[in-house]
Structures are given as C-alpha cells and as structure tokens.
C-alpha cells in the first residue's frame, strides 16, 4: 500500500502526539484503532500492579525486568499548563552480569486521566545507542582467525 510519502520520511512522533493521538484514540476506540496501527513500532498494554493494594507495577519480562530511570509530564501543545500524560523511561536489567543489561530502552506513555489499577499504556522499544555490542563469542573468534591466517 503506497502512502505517498517522500523517500527518507521517518516516523518520529513527539511525546504530545503519542499521548494525544495514539494513546487517547486507542483508549477511546479500542481494537478499531489497533487495526490502523499494525505496521508501527508501538505496543499497547495494560499495566498490572504487583498486588491489589500495591503502589508498584509488575514490569517483569523473561528472566529480567524493566528498571525505571526517570519520568516527566507531557503537556498539551496548545495549552502549556495542561498535563495530558506521563512519559517514563526504563532500561532492561536481566540476570547479573548479563550482556543484555542496559542494551534495551523502553519509553512508557500513560494518559493522566485513568484508573491506575489497569492503566492502558503505550510502549516504544529501542536498542540503547550507548551500549557497545557484545564481544564476539569463541565460535566467531575462530572464524575470524581462520579468515585472517
């Protein structure tokens, strides 16, 4: 399907656009909105509390977890005093001394008006540009030695 965008156009919405358009519409329209977004690198999910009375949320994934770094408010473009959402930054922390620790970053967007127990959030994932690639394994080293000598 041709969208008619020029070559080199990159999908890079602002925090305000993510909360105001994508997250608000998904909360209002449900699965009708999901079908329009199937090719985007965004993921909708519901946060779950660790227990019904807990203040913290369960962010376990695989053998690791998402560790919080910081959060900030997302304000409306037209009215700089209205907070429309919250953006939180996380980094992946796996088992101790894992090469994957810090290799992935996640941004979580939340609408400020909502039930905290089952809040719908929008997440974006990306590789950490500051994390160097893991060193080659023994198998890769032997291939390099064979090709060099």
- pLDDT, one tens digit per residue, over 101-143 is 888 888 888 887 765 545 788 888 888 888 766 666 655 555 5
CA terminus-to-terminus distance, the chain: 49
Structural domain range at position 56: 15-142
Number of structural domains, the chain? 1
Both tokens of 49, joined, read 């509390």
Please tell me the pTM assigned to this model: 0.64
Both tokens of 146, joined, read 């064979």
Residue 3 falls within a domain, yes or no?
A: no
Residue 7 falls within a domain, yes or no?
A: no
Both tokens of 126, joined, read 């990306």
Both tokens of 83, joined, read 């907070």
Residue 31 falls within a domain, yes or no?
A: yes
Residue 9 falls within a domain, yes or no?
A: no
3-state DSSP call for residue 19?
helix
CATH at residue 110: 2.170.150
When the pLDDT of each residue in the chain is averaged and rounded to a whole number, the result is 74
């Amino acid at each position: 399907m041709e969208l008619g965008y020029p070559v080199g156009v990159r999908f890079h919405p602002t925090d305000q656009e993510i909360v105001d358009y994508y997250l608000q519409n998904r909360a209002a329209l449900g699965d009708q909105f999901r079908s329009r977004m199937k090719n985007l690198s965004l993921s909708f999910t519901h946060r779950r509390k660790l227990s019904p009375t807990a203040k913290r949320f369960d962010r376990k994934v695989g053998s690791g977890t998402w560790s919080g770094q910081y959060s900030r408010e997302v304000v409306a473009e037209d009215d700089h005093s209205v907070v429309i959402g919250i953006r939180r930054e996380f980094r992946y922390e796996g088992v101790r001394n894992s090469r994957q620790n810090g290799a992935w970053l996640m941004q979580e967007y939340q609408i400020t008006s909502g039930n905290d127990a089952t809040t719908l959030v929008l997440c974006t994932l990306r590789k950490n540009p500051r994390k160097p690639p893991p060193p080659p394994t023994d198998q890769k080293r032997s291939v390099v030695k064979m090709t060099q000598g």
